[in-house]
Amino acid sequence: MTATSDSGERRTYPREVRIKDDRITLRYMTPGDRDTVLAFAQGLPAHDLLFLRRDITRPDVVDMWLEDIKRERITTLLAEREGALVGYATVDRGDVSWSPHVAELRVMVASSMRRRGLGRVLTLEAFLIALDLGVEKMVAQMTADQDGAIAVFETLGFRTEAFLRDHVKDREGRKLDLIIMAHDVARFLAQMEAYGIDEALEG
């Protein structure tokens, strides 16, 4: 499988990128990754799961995720360090007929790899994949108290388009506000082109 870079060349997966002192392998998620992805999700802090519409700590939910990949509604890129899963990015086009040009971006990074640039790399790769899929607009959702994530998305050019009060309940039943951010795919990649996609993907 491939994605198109800013120069029009086809990016192929699996591929390796360097982040700090680590070499990270990026590849597409397949049915054989079911148990690995499930274990990764179950090891995430509970609050991180509020980023997600689905409870991916449940085996049946991961099975539905894989079914959506098979149906080409979802594309997920996994990041591995020395064979261990350390993050992923998902481009979810859903099945809403009135907005086929819009996809949701979901990025999750293991605690051990945060603040090292992996989330940025996964986001850049996801936008290249989205461009290849014909997606024009990417949206991301997070709770309003996720200050770090909001700041990262803002540095990448995302802007808040909606603020939904008490829209999310955590596992303890507490209500949290939801923020929906968005970015134009072509504009995002044009910003990255200023200093080169390949350089940006070095973390």
Give pLDDT tens digits for 2-13. Answer: 555 544 555 789
Mean pLDDT (the chain) is 86
CATH of the domain at 39: 3.40.630.30
Closest CA to 178 of 137, 143, 129, 132: 143
For the beta sheet containing 137-143, the strands, ordered from the edge strand earlier in sequence to the opposite edge, are 15-19, 22-28, 74-81, 84-92, 102-109, 137-143, 175-184, 159-169
Tally the domains of the chain: 1
| Weakest mean pLDDT among 69-73, 90-94, 167-171 | 167-171
Lowest-confidence segment of 43-52, 82-91, 190-199 by average pLDDT? 190-199
Domain that holds residue 36: 2-200
Band of residue 203 on the pLDDT scale cut at 50, 70, 90:
very low
DSSP state of 75: E
Q: Which of 45-59, 118-132, 180-194 has the lowest mean pLDDT?
A: 45-59
C-alpha 180/C-alpha 145 separation (Å) is: 13
User: What pLDDT digit, counting tens, does each position of 155-181 carry?
Assistant: 888 999 999 998 888 777 889 899 999
